[in-house]
């Protein structure tokens, strides 16, 4: 069953779903580009790995997060306790849990020289929250922007802070940034909102090369349909993260029209 939303489906942003959607979308982009770029270029899936003890990272979901050990106590038993006198009974406390983070991304490299031509990133929640995940991604982003290679940065998450840009006060739910090495510090920003169809954009390559178009909306719809996300999304509930009051009304009308409420 196809997604009921013409643009981004906000229900796919749920922490328990987004990690899987993100990995599948990366795979679909690679499958789309590979036959169009060969034999001059090769598309490779790379993985960025790091460890963090940030509590919020536990909400990212499988397979982006591998929890080395699990907590068994509930949050209600892990509140801070002021102890005024020694006691013979233990008090439940919370300790940092090491979490291994794996974030996939795509690299387009020139065959023969192996030179990096374009990096394609789809942001995860850990990239947008304050913490080690954002620090690691911003360092990687700065390395790419300091080089002559191109960057495609796809942000399909409404929550948390977007990546920094200079002199731009555009507010939008979602963003696609195309930053060509030949035109920095200027870049092309596709800003769009929940009701909008995701824009189709070109993949930046070497100057004078034909640039294939990426129809991200079609790829996302294919991921939703092929992998049965209609079987796991409960449209009777509100999405996570929550919508604005205006978008709640819009989504409710749309879902009722589709017979999903």
Distance CA 83, CA 87 (A): 8
- Give me the pLDDT at residue 221, please: 98
The band of 93, judged by pLDDT with boundaries at 50, 70 and 90, is confident
- Give me the pLDDT at residue 241, please: 95
- Give me the pLDDT at residue 54, please: 58
| Per-chain mean pLDDT for the chain | 87
pLDDT digits (tens, 9 = 90+) for 137-169: 999 999 999 999 999 999 999 999 999 888 767
Is residue 192 within 8 Å of 205, Cβ to Cβ?
Answer: no
Residue 76 has pLDDT above 90, yes or no: no
Question: pLDDT higher for 51 or 230?
Answer: 230
pLDDT digits (tens, 9 = 90+) for 232-247: 999 999 999 999 999 9
- Give me the pLDDT at residue 55, please: 52
- Give me the pLDDT at residue 84, please: 57
Please enumerate, as own/partner, the contacts of 212-215 that have beta carbons within 8 Å and a separation of 24 or more: 212/32, 212/33, 212/36, 212/37, 214/29, 214/32, 214/33
- Give me the pLDDT at residue 96, please: 72
**Percent of the chain's residues with pLDDT above 90:** 71
Distance CA 220, CA 32 (A): 12
pLDDT digits (tens, 9 = 90+) for 33-66: 999 999 999 999 999 887 777 555 444 443 443 3
Residue 249 has pLDDT above 60, yes or no: yes
Question: pLDDT higher for 258 or 89?
Answer: 258
- Give me the pLDDT at residue 75, please: 43
- Give me the pLDDT at residue 134, please: 92
- Give me the pLDDT at residue 77, please: 40
């Amino acid at each position: 069953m196809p997604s009921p939303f013409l643009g981004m489906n906000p229900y796919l942003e749920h922490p328990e779903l987004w990690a899987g959607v993100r990995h599948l979308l990366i795979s679909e982009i690679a499958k789309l580009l590979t036959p169009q770029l060969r034999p001059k270029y090769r598309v490779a899936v790379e993985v960025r790995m790091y460890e963090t003890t940030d509590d919020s990272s536990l909400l990212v979901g499988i397979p982006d997060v591998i929890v080395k050990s699990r907590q068994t106590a509930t949050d209600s038993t892990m509140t801070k306790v002021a102890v005024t006198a020694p006691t013979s009974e233990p008090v439940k406390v919370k300790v940092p849990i090491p979490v291994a983070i794996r974030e996939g991304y795509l690299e387009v490299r020139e065959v023969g020289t192996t030179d990096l031509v374009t990096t394609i990133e789809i942001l995860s929640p850990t990239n947008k929250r304050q913490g080690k995940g954002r620090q690691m991604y911003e360092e990687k982003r700065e390395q790419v922007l300091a080089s002559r290679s191109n960057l495609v940065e796809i942000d399909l998450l409404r929550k948390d802070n977007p990546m920094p840009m200079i002199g731009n006060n555009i507010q939008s739910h979602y963003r696609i940034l195309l930053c060509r090495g030949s035109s920095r510090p200027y870049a092309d920003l596709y800003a769009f909102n929940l009701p909008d169809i995701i824009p189709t954009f070109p993949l930046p390559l070497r100057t004078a090369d034909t640039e294939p178009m990426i129809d991200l909306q079609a790829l996302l719809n294919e991921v939703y349909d092929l992998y049965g996300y209609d079987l796991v999304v409960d449209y009777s509930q509100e999405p996570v993260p929550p919508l604005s009051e205006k978008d709640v009304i819009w989504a409710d009308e749309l879902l009722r029209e589709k017979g999903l409420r």
